[in-house]
Structure 1
Amino acid sequence: MTSIRRRWAGLVFISIAVALIIVDSTIVNVAIPSIVRDLGISSTQVQWVQESYTLVFAALLLVFGTLADRYGRRRTLLVGVVIFAAASVFAALAPSGDLLIVARIIQGVGGAMVLPTTLSLINATFQGRERGIAFAVWGSTIGGMVAVGPLLGGWLTTYYSWRWAFGINVPLAVIIIAGVLLCVAESKDSADPRRIDVIGAVLSVLASASLVFGLIEGRSYGWWLLHPGKAPTFGTWIWPFALSPIPVAFAITVASGVGFVLWGLHRQRAGKTTLLAFALFRIPSFRNGNIAAMIVSLGEFGIILSLPLWLQNVIGYNALQTGLVLLALAIGSFAASGLSSVVLDKITAVAIVRVGIVAEILGVAGLGLVISANSTWLSIIPFLFVYGFGVGLATAQLTGVVLKDVPVNKSGQGSGTASTARQIGSALGIAILGTILFTSVGTSLNARLADETPLLPESARTQIVDTVVVSAGGAIPGLAAKDPQVADAARAAFSDGTRYSAFAASGFLVLGLLATFRLSGEVRPDEVEEAQKGEAGKLPQET
């Protein structure tokens, strides 16, 4: 096999590795009802089955990006895939909700080893126009797998078992390991000593984990004061304060974040290795690209939280039908991959990013316009295709813009930073859009019940509203058998919440589009040289 063919074959297996971890982050959503029935898990456990993976994943990205630079990018990728596959077997065989959550945490460790190394391997393997095409394939894979996950999960859950939603990862892992060993060359930064900034790593994990925890759990515990009856427990210890743990989590975020920066700058001035190459932020494409990527991520995947719930609980589709509808997003994303490779030599990567974000805005806003309790798949699919097309364009090329001027020997740190920015943006988007969804559902349903069922006692109305919101709409089919009028009001209210969530997502994407105007297509040679040497002694200033 020639070196060129080997490179592109290697990209296929790198993309499958990305697909593995992205699918797993979405495949569980459609399997949750079956997991609840089989394991009898509580609503709190349901939440952690979905969120423990994201929490650990985001917290460790920066650490493993740096470790990959030092110890070998291919090696780190392979170790991550092995850990991920082993944890998937553990999850598939889990006899209880607690053990399933433990398995999801271990999966998060493996996933955090895989994602930044795929980016840095591409950055080290491809150059020039080829790199742009490779990033397009990588980004389209992410966009497509966001939709394929629910489809695959729906099919496996409907015809086999929810356990196969995890078991499917094992044969994929075997394919990845064999392909990477055969087709992907090892790369690492041999100039740096094989040591890690342990204090910096701990501070980084604390900052990331506490921020993601706060964003995810704020609606559950309360953003300031603790919600009644929601005190978190740790074994036999119960949270004793009226203050919610969320402000404490954010205080830890600030303290550890500031400590991380100050400690890193101290080590940099002393000529020691640091977890994050702060000099990279002197490169405008890296600095401004990360800001844009974080804002865009606020709106990109938050809508995927509400759509499956709405399709199943309001429209009445099963898990497989929901996955088939969301397949339009994957088709649009893969179509974008082909187009971006054709036009990349005609317009700049930044221009492609802007076109992609505009398509996302049109798609998500269009969904908001057509969503109602009486919508059909015919009205949804065109806008999902447009949205997926935009994700495929924007995700790939924005990643390329962020890393295009990063020295290869810093690509692991750079990709880890970029991935962390995206994950934090996604977590923030899910937290905000989830709050908008469920708050709107509760407000709308309460108002509709008050208008349409005036004889219904207030206590009964409150109970119905709480049941629909807490169950994320899962109680709606049961209400239909008891009181069709109440069920109709609940369907309309959940449609209202989904629509408002879509409009909010499009608003975030507009902000992301505006942020891209801080990106330029050029970089000064002296800025790259400074990043290469890592000689910055202070935080970078705007240029």
Structure 2
Amino acid sequence: MRKWWPLVAVSLGTLMLLVDVTIVNVALPDMAGDLKTSFTSLQWVVDIYALTLAALLLAAGGVADLLGHRRVYLVGLVLFAVASFFSGIAPNAGLLIAARGLQGIGGAAMFATVFALLNSAYQGRDRGTAYGVWGAVGGASAAIGPIAGGLLTESLSWRWIFFVNLPISVITVALCLAVLPGGRHAAARTSLDLAGLVLFSAAAGTLTYGLIVAGEHGWTSTSAVVSFVVAVVAGVAFVLVERRVAAPMLDLGLLRNATFSGSLVAGFFLSGSAFAGLVYSSIWLQSVLGKSPIMAGVIGGLPLSVAAFVTSGVGSRFLHDKHPGRVIAGGLAFIGAGDVLQGVLLHGSAGATAPVPGLILVGIGVGMGMPVLSSAAMSAVPLQRGGMAAGSVNTARQLGMALGIAVLGSIYTARIAAYFTHHSVPRADSAAHAVAGGQGPAILSKLSGAARSGFDQALRGGSVSGLSAVMLVAGISAILAAVVVVALIRAPASEAAPAFEGMEKGGDEQQARARAAGEDRAVGEPV
């Protein structure tokens, strides 16, 4: 039993950082009321975590190569715990957003070292078993997040979704010090692409900020336009730096490989289309339909998570000999169909369970496509770039989540505003932003008589109209991405590794060959 303690230490950290991607969703209405915050602030509470994960994941792997994987994992754990504490005590939205960003930095340090720690702790069959258990933990986090968030928010306070990380962090740190092997890899890096890190972070951050501001103040507002210009300049500068630096954060030459590029496209749209819209589903369920945080977590998260978990288990048996590109594209098609079905079923009289059939289809798509994304990318690049390939896919996934929340939030608010304008709601634009931020009940409480009845009808109709538009856009995006993935990842099955082969074998052969090539780092992939 002692040999599995390193797996427990790594899995506990993974569970925390992945649960915190979704645990916030069901607490958003309570946060909005308690902190008296705006819809823009709510978006940033969710977005900043995914954004810092995306921006720092590849760089964190380079830091771990320099300083040692256990050391960086421990620093990430401590930073994550400290940030969780400050998130829990945050007196206003600004401090909460800053603390969530700090959480993302700690999460990136933990996330980037997972596979390296498992590789150093296990070999042979044990490594395959460890990967399988770790993957199951990652899959379970999708279900645990909304339900745990609902239970803690309803029984205690939204602040406890962060405080609960503190005892888990203490236990995990103690385990890491006792059971994880220390030291650095023999092939540790000697430099860090700091310029690439800064420029990529600037490009991703200003692009996300511009999208959120555009939804609030318009696409031609000065702040939005300036943000987009800075994002473009930083993006171009990042490309120029990566082409010249000796040890780039991302080897741009890999993008010439169609399979690798297709994997990045798949990762970006898979996360954005499957998960970004759930933020607005949670707001609708609680602030419009009056569901409790627990019920919002069960209705909005459990069908997707269960379907994904079952599909990934069945898929390893029936899809193992299929071309990974077709498996991934099929997953995106299911996600698109599920989102479109939700968009169709959501109408003025829709009840809380209306999205469930679509969520099940989305879960099937996630279970098909998610487990094989990194293995598809890694199989397409030189072995010594395997870690970079896996990390790039995970970066694309987190970036898809962050940008998806921003874009879909703009659509959600704009559609509600259009509905309110059509139904002559006073100050339609400001009312739409308040409703999108979960403040519908607060507006209703200030009205009475016919005014209250009229706004209640508009609130229900506008919210479901906005959510329907969000799901339709997400669904169409996933279907188009599936077409692109089929076009890009088109190597014949005889030349490609089976979709689930890397998961079954635990990656032994590839890791051994990577060590011989001078690089034994792989960045972990969540399910």
**TM-score bucket of the superposed structures, by smaller chain:** 0.7 to 0.9
Give the match for residue 491 of structure 1.
460
Match of 1:108 among 104, 110, 114: 104
Match of 2:347 among 341, 353, 372: 372
Change in CA separation of 1:29 and 1:291 when aligned onto 2, cut-off 3 Å:
closer
What amino acid maps onto 1:82 in structure 2? V
The alignment status of 1:391 with 2:371, answered yes or no, reads: no
Give the match for residue 436 of structure 2.
472
The alignment status of 1:332 with 2:307, answered yes or no, reads: yes
The alignment status of 1:277 with 2:277, answered yes or no, reads: no
Change in CA separation of 1:423 and 1:20 when aligned onto 2, cut-off 3 Å:
same
* Distance in structure 2 (CA, Å) of the matches to 1:134 and 1:394: 21
Give the match for residue 288 of structure 1.
262
What amino acid maps onto 2:376 in structure 1? V
* Distance in structure 1 (CA, Å) of the matches to 2:126 and 2:350: 43
Contact 1:154–1:320, Cα closer than 8 Å, also in 2? yes
Contact 1:13–1:180, Cα closer than 8 Å, also in 2? yes
Report how far residue 405 of structure 1 moved: 4.8
What amino acid maps onto 2:329 in structure 1? R
* Distance in structure 2 (CA, Å) of the matches to 1:28 and 1:390: 23
Counterpart secondary structure, 2:438: coil
Q: Structure 1 stretch 466-475 or stretch 364-373: which is displaced more?
A: 466-475
Q: Structure 1 stretch 150-159 or stretch 464-473: which is displaced more?
A: 464-473
Q: Structure 1 stretch 464-473 or stretch 82-91: which is displaced more?
A: 464-473
- Tell me the alpha carbon deviations over residues 94-152 of structure 1, each in whole angstroms, 9 at most, x when there is no partner: 34444333322211211221233335656888899999987776666556534432221
Contact 1:119–1:415, Cα closer than 8 Å, also in 2? no
Give the match for residue 456 of structure 1.
none
Contact 1:157–1:164, Cα closer than 8 Å, also in 2? yes
The alignment status of 1:203 with 2:207, answered yes or no, reads: no
Report how far residue 167 of structure 1 moved: 0.7
Give the match for residue 85 of structure 2.
89
Number of residue-to-residue matches in the alignment:
493
Give the match for residue 522 of structure 2.
none
Give the match for residue 322 of structure 1.
296
The alignment status of 1:298 with 2:272, answered yes or no, reads: yes
> Where does 1:95-494 land on structure 2 (aligned, <5 Å)?
95-118=91-114, 142=138, 144-178=140-174, 190-224=186-220, 226=221, 244-267=222-245, 272-281=246-255, 283-325=257-299, 326-406=301-381, 410-447=385-422, 449-450=423-424, 461-464=425-428, 466-472=430-436, 474-477=438-441, 478-479=443-444, 482=448, 483-494=452-463
Change in CA separation of 1:392 and 1:532 when aligned onto 2, cut-off 3 Å:
same
The alignment status of 1:68 with 2:64, answered yes or no, reads: yes
Contact 1:294–1:426, Cα closer than 8 Å, also in 2? yes
Give the match for residue 234 of structure 1.
none
Contact 2:419–2:462, Cα closer than 8 Å, also in 1? yes
Counterpart secondary structure, 2:23: helix
Instruction: Flag structure 2 segments of 5+ consecutive residues without an equivalent.
Output: 498-512, 520-527
Counterpart secondary structure, 2:63: helix
Report how far residue 246 of structure 1 moved: 2.5
Contact 2:77–2:110, Cα closer than 8 Å, also in 1? yes
Give the match for residue 28 of structure 1.
24
* Distance in structure 2 (CA, Å) of the matches to 1:498 and 1:398: 28
Counterpart secondary structure, 2:391: helix
User: C-alpha root-mean-square deviation of aligned residues, in Å?
Assistant: 3.5
Contact 1:140–1:395, Cα closer than 8 Å, also in 2? no
What amino acid maps onto 2:285 in structure 1? L
Change in CA separation of 1:121 and 1:413 when aligned onto 2, cut-off 3 Å:
farther
- Tell me the alpha carbon deviations over residues 176-216 of structure 1, each in whole angstroms, 9 at most, x when there is no partner: 44555666656865335432133233223222322232233
What amino acid maps onto 1:167 in structure 2? F
Contact 1:151–1:324, Cα closer than 8 Å, also in 2? yes
TM-score by length of 2: 0.82
Change in CA separation of 1:509 and 1:128 when aligned onto 2, cut-off 3 Å:
farther
* Distance in structure 2 (CA, Å) of the matches to 1:216 and 1:125: 43
Contact 1:57–1:109, Cα closer than 8 Å, also in 2? yes
Contact 1:283–1:405, Cα closer than 8 Å, also in 2? yes
Contact 1:311–1:322, Cα closer than 8 Å, also in 2? yes
Contact 2:434–2:440, Cα closer than 8 Å, also in 1? no
Report how far residue 308 of structure 1 moved: 0.6
Report how far residue 158 of structure 1 moved: 0.9
Change in CA separation of 1:98 and 1:364 when aligned onto 2, cut-off 3 Å:
closer
Report how far residue 342 of structure 1 moved: 2.2
Q: Identity of counterpart residues, as a percentage? A: 33
Q: Structure 1 stretch 390-399 or stretch 348-357: which is displaced more?
A: 348-357
Report how far residue 349 of structure 1 moved: 3.2
Contact 2:42–2:437, Cα closer than 8 Å, also in 1? no
* Distance in structure 2 (CA, Å) of the matches to 1:42 and 1:379: 28
TM-score by length of 1: 0.80
- Tell me the alpha carbon deviations over residues 344-403 of structure 1, each in whole angstroms, 9 at most, x when there is no partner: 534343343233223222322221222234333444333322322321221121222122
Q: Structure 1 stretch 136-145 or stretch 319-328: which is displaced more?
A: 136-145
Counterpart secondary structure, 2:112: helix
- Tell me the alpha carbon deviations over residues 192-245 of structure 1, each in whole angstroms, 9 at most, x when there is no partner: 543213323322322232223223333124322x2xxxxxxxxxxxxxxxxx12
* Distance in structure 2 (CA, Å) of the matches to 1:437 and 1:508: 16
* Distance in structure 2 (CA, Å) of the matches to 1:485 and 1:429: 32
What amino acid maps onto 1:422 in structure 2? R
- Tell me the alpha carbon deviations over residues 71-113 of structure 1, each in whole angstroms, 9 at most, x when there is no partner: 3334322321221012112222334444333322211211221
What amino acid maps onto 1:310 in structure 2? W
Contact 2:38–2:437, Cα closer than 8 Å, also in 1? no
What amino acid maps onto 2:167 in structure 1? P
Match of 1:77 among 73, 77, 98: 73
Give the match for residue 505 of structure 2.
none
Report how far residue 168 of structure 1 moved: 1.0
Instruction: Flag structure 1 segments of 5+ consecutive residues without an equivalent.
Output: 227-243, 451-460, 535-543
Report how far residue 435 of structure 1 moved: 1.8
Match of 2:484 among 500, 505, 515: 515
Contact 1:59–1:208, Cα closer than 8 Å, also in 2? yes
* Distance in structure 2 (CA, Å) of the matches to 1:187 and 1:512: 42
Contact 1:65–1:415, Cα closer than 8 Å, also in 2? no
The alignment status of 1:59 with 2:55, answered yes or no, reads: yes
- Tell me the alpha carbon deviations over residues 412-458 of structure 1, each in whole angstroms, 9 at most, x when there is no partner: 433332222122222232222222222111112322x24xxxxxxxx
What amino acid maps onto 1:338 in structure 2? G
